[in-house]
Amino acid sequence: MTDFAEHRAEFNDPFEEQYPKDPFGNSDKYEVIRRAVSNAKCPVFKVYDRDLKEEFAIKVFSKRRVIEHGWRSIEQTNEEARILRKLNHPLIVNFINSWQHRRRLYLAMEYLPGGELFDLWKILNSFSTSLIRFFTAQIALALDYLRSQWVVYRDLKMENMLFDSEGYLKLIDFGASKELKKHPLARTYTICGTLAYAAPEMLSGGGYDYAVDWWALGVFCYAIAYGNYPIHPVEDYREMRILIDKKIYRMPDGVPRDLAQVIEQLLNKNPRRRAVGVETLNNLDFFHGKIDFEAVERKKYDARAFFTKDDIFKLPNSHLRQWVLSASPDMRPSRGSFPQMTSERRYRTSSRVLLRQPNMLSSCDIGYGSPNRSRNPLQESTIRDSVFRFTRQASATNLYSSPVIGSPHLSRSIDPVMPSVMAPYRRLSHMVDGSTSTTRPSDYVIRPNEDREERRYKKLPNGWSENQGAREDDDVRTAEVQPPKVVIVWDKNDPNLRRKSRLAAQQNI
């Protein structure tokens, strides 16, 4: 009994530091209003705090799924809460609280009612110069603050930019972020984020720093200016790297020269020559003397004033159009609240993370095979947001028939979802795991190429072999084939049992 108690005392909860136990009943004081975001990894719920009389957003993690993805997933889940806890900026979502229960982790954040910038982009397709300047200034200020806090965001995209009630953007979802060591030469090596926004130095597999976020800002500027991405993402990140190397960014005719200069400097393939920082952008003609970055950071501008007649003309007859028109000098309204957009989400991108393993990826392809996979090309052209592991498979055909994690058709079966019929308000602690699928996130693997016999990974009776200790770096590991273990079945009635066991121990069997 004493040994058991000591064993329990030695056990440490890997989440307890960032997600403490819930002694004050946080889950009971929140009432679930609705599911705000559906995600293959974890859902986000809009909740009502009965004590503070306010609405918040709560991100829910399943402990089982986080642990199944391995220690890297545990570290990244803790890293997200750790980073959000230390950040305090008007253009970044506010952290409220984090706690845990027996089966789930909870991350409470500020609720942003305005919806995603992606929805507005799909309505307008391209923005006016004033809106581009306004939106780019906000994201640049947020990235500059993250750089001052030694944080690499690594997942900049329009789906992670939400409008607050005043029409200003805020960055959300720090699940792929990384806090670097406080050293000017600090680097990280994880290939993560979204292929459409991935920087060339990240795709090359070498170390990178904050400059990857400013490359993504250049892709963002290009997209909102021209209505599409500079390079349409492909399925393989190595092919995407080749396309970026061959690409020569020439701005279309009729584009303002000052805007083209911003995009060209942000999309510089050399990270040392890339425009990084608000001070650098403020010296460019596109921003200098035309917008006050300090006023943007303090939210002194009325966001409606940046919508031009062309923008308003492309808006549908909706609450958003009425909200923008209310800022015209003829109507002279009081400062209103930014309405939530409800447009259809088409061609959404999804963030993925793949821990780079050089000896493995040089001869492996990412298994995306699915008979009914999404028709969204960007959904199929991104890197997975969890660690690809070599795990148990029923047969080799599962590598080609299993759907990709994160596909829309799969999220209904493995997400921890709320019951389809429930009261408008429900205690957060009453949420149940609605998973009915026998497929686990860790069951999806990278399949080797069949033409590289010397690099093929063999399947053992107890699963795929994997070498866990290749390097001390947090972001790089090398997978190697392990020889199968010899299992000896001993006969208890054998008179030479003791001698055989001693010989087996000497031979490390």
**The two structure tokens encoding residue 231:** 């390079």
* Residue 54 to residue 248: CA distance in whole angstroms: 50
State which amino acid sits at residue 272.
R
Burial readout 453-474 (b: 16 or more C-beta within 10 A, e: otherwise): eeeebebeeeebbbeeeeeeee
Task: Give dist(CA 35, CA 441) in Å, integer.
Answer: 22
d(CA 70, CA 228): 36
- DSSP assignment letter at 442: G
b/e per residue 234-244 (b: at least 16 CB within 10 A): beebeebbebb
Rounded CA separation 410/404 (Å): 8
Q: What share of the chain is helix, strand, coil (3-state, %, to 5)?
A: 35, 15, 50
Q: Which residue has the tokens 């701005």?
A: 251
Residues recorded for the chain: 509
Using CA atoms, how far apart are residues 217 and 342, in angstroms rounded to an integer?
A: 25
- Around Cβ 60, how many Cβ atoms within 10 Å? 20
**Cα–Cα distances in Å, from 184 out to 147, 181, 209, 260?**
11, 9, 9, 30
Whether 155 sits among the annotated catalytic residues: the reply is yes
Active-site residue (options: 49, 119, 144, 155):
155
Rounded distance between C-alpha atoms, residue 214 and residue 201, angstroms: 12
Q: Which residues pair with 177 in a beta bridge?
A: none
Distance between CA 394 and CA 415 in Å, rounded? 22
The catalytic residues are 155
